[in-house]
């Protein structure tokens, strides 16, 4: 039996998007950062590099907390989403 890929597993998750953003990054700090650990640590690819700066979109967040842990510059303001919002796993 073929093992499910990460993409297959992510596809069975359900997201309830909140209008309140639960993770914010400080773009000014990110502009001075040359490490960009968040790009490699986020399993959902919520961080992207564009025009030398970091773009962040919280909608696909898996709530793992990795971005907060790996950022050496404390640029990530991290909380869980409000109750009833965010990711629900394994809805496939
Ligand atoms: S979130 Fe942290 S690691 Fe990522 S670019 Fe910003 S300062 Fe650098
Ligand atoms: S908490 Fe995890 S999934 Fe969400 S943005 Fe941070 S690293 Fe990505």
Q: Is 63 in the pocket of ligand 2 (CB under 6 A)?
A: yes
Cβ–Cβ < 8 Å for 64, 76: no
Q: Is 23 in the pocket of ligand 1 (CB under 6 A)?
A: no
Atom of ligand 1 nearest to the CA of 67: 1
pLDDT tens for 8-62 read 888 899 999 999 999 999 999 999 999 999 999 999 999 999 887 899 999 999 9
Residue ranges in the chain assigned as alpha helix (H):
6-11, 27-31, 37-41, 66-70
Atom of ligand 2 nearest to the CA of 66: 7
User: Domains of the chain (ranges plus CATH)?
Assistant: 6-88 (3.30.70.20)
């Amino acid at each position: 039996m073929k093992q499910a890929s990460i993409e297959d597993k992510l596809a069975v998750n359900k997201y309830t998007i909140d209008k309140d953003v639960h993770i914010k990054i400080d773009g000014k700090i990110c502009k001075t950062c040359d490490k960009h650990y968040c790009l490699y640590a986020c399993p959902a690819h919520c961080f992207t590099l564009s025009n030398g700066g970091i773009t962040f979109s919280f909608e696909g967040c898996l709530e793992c907390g990795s971005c907060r842990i790996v950022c050496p510059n404390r640029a990530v303001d991290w909380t869980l989403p409000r109750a009833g919002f965010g990711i629900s796993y394994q809805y496939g």
